[in-house]
Amino acid sequence: MRWSQLLWLQALLWICLPAEAHQINLVTARLALTGDRMVSVELGLKGSDVDRLVGTKTYDVRQDAVDPAAVDAARVAILAYLATHLAVTAGGTACAPGDAAILPDGDGIIYRNSFACANLAGDIVYHSTVLTERDKTARQVVLIAQGQSETQALLDAGTTAVTLSTAPPPLLSTMQRYLLTGIEHIFLGYDHIAFLIAVVLWARRLVPVIKIVTAFTVAHSLTLSLAALNVLAVPSRIVEPAIAASIVFVAAENFFSRDVDRRWRVAFLFGLIHGFGFAGALREIGLPPDAIVPALAAFNVGVEIGQIAIVAIAMPVLGLLDRLIARGRNEPARAAGIVYTMSAAIGLLGSYWLLTRMFEV
């Protein structure tokens, strides 16, 4: 029988048998890991196994039960054995144990203790050679609870440790990952790209472009942060159609106004809506609980880098088209045909997104 099959069999027996029934040559361990890196350990052993490990006489064969008085008398010896063969470490350093308890439990004993690992960095690992160091055929079934999830592991003479949690990645690595995620999202967010291009189509000078990009950045950073931190939430069924509507609006506005100096206001207003869209993407990957603010800041910076890159590409291309159409004039004006054609295409695309998103959500 494979070890994985044995593990499930043992776990099934453990769950199905009454609480006071312990099996020979089997240690049952229940571990709970909390967010503050505290590990609670509960170990169960058959009384006869305890006696052959420690040299005590707690187990009565005729009654198939342990004597509570004998267990209490053997408490120091049992704890000494467990302290030698059981440990919880973080980064290779032993976590500080609490006050251990030894309790009689029908035909066996229960060991309870907690280990504080908050002040230690690195992976949290449970080590145990309880019983397996004496009997190579012995097994230990480990149930690990962390939050709402539970996992199982099987320890034996050859496998004596299980990792409960891995160390969080370095802060710089986390920030780099979220920075790249922000850049990737803006380049793959075609609706955001369409909005940015439409809003700067009439711009030929640098100052209006800076004002537009800055206003858009400030606005989406504000709502992105509020949404990512669960301070303010707007359903995607509202956000996604609203983003599409913003694209239609700025594309249509290009047909009626060429005033790019005041367009930063429009960019700010719709930037608030786009920020909730960015938050939806960020929510899919989540924020690391140990580095929420740095990760959020890095994602914001990544989005900013991406949108600056898009504008930096779009503006020279528009300028090149102006010069080609001007055919040698020293200061060619922005060709209205370019703006109207691109605005019409972006407006149609935005209308398509608006209709599909209204029916999807």
Give the lowest-confidence range in 53-57, 187-191, 269-273. 187-191
Kindly indicate the confidence band of residue 234, based on its pLDDT and cuts at 50, 70 and 90.
Answer: confident
Asked if residue 277 lies in contact with residue 239, where contact means CB atoms within 8 angstroms, the answer is yes
pLDDT tens column, 99-118: 999 999 999 999 999 999 88
**pTM for the complete prediction?**
0.56
Question: Which residue has better confidence, 248 or 120?
Answer: 248
Give the start-to-end residue ranges of the domains of the chain.
3-165, 171-360
Instruction: Provide, rounded to the nearest whole percent, the portion of the chain with pLDDT above 70.
Output: 90
What per-residue confidence (pLDDT) applies to 352? 94
What per-residue confidence (pLDDT) applies to 13? 44
- Asked if residue 120 has pLDDT above 90, the reply is no
- Asked if residue 343 has pLDDT above 60, the reply is yes
- Asked if residue 332 has pLDDT above 80, the reply is no
What per-residue confidence (pLDDT) applies to 359? 84
Question: Which residue has better confidence, 146 or 1?
Answer: 146
- Asked if residue 4 has pLDDT above 60, the reply is no
- For the domain spanning 171-360, the CATH number is 1.20.1250
Q: What is the mean pLDDT of residues 155-171?
A: 82
pLDDT tens column, 266-306: 999 999 999 888 888 777 777 776 678 888 889 989 988 99
Give the lowest-confidence range in 56-60, 331-335, 344-348. 331-335
What per-residue confidence (pLDDT) applies to 262? 87
Question: Which residue has better confidence, 329 or 68?
Answer: 68
Question: Which residue has better confidence, 194 or 170?
Answer: 194
Q: What is the mean pLDDT of residues 235-258?
A: 91
Q: Per residue, what are the HEC states of the chain? A: CCHHHHHHHHHHHHHHCCCCCCCCCEEEEEEEECCCCEEEEEEEEEHHHHHHHHCCCCEECCCCEECHHHHHHCHHHHHHHHHHHEEEEECCEECEECCCEEEEECCEEEEEEEEECCCCCCCEEEEECCCCCCCCCCEEEEEEEECCEEEEEEECCCCCEEEEECCCCCHHHHHHHHHHHHHHHHHHCHHHHHHHHHHCCCCCCHHHHHHHHHHHHHHHHHHHHHHHCCCCCCCHHHHHHHHHHHHHHHHHHCCCCCCCCCCHHHHHHHHHHHHHHHHHHHHHHCCCCCCHHHHHHHHHHHHHHHHHHHHHHHHHHHHHHHHHHHCCCCCCCCCHHHHHHHHHHHHHHHHHHHHHHHHHC
Question: Which residue has better confidence, 354 or 286?
Answer: 354
Q: What is the mean pLDDT of residues 331-356?
A: 86
Kindly indicate the confidence band of residue 328, based on its pLDDT and cuts at 50, 70 and 90.
Answer: low
Q: What is the mean pLDDT of the chain?
A: 85
What per-residue confidence (pLDDT) applies to 85? 95
Highest mean pLDDT among 11-20, 186-195, 279-288: 186-195
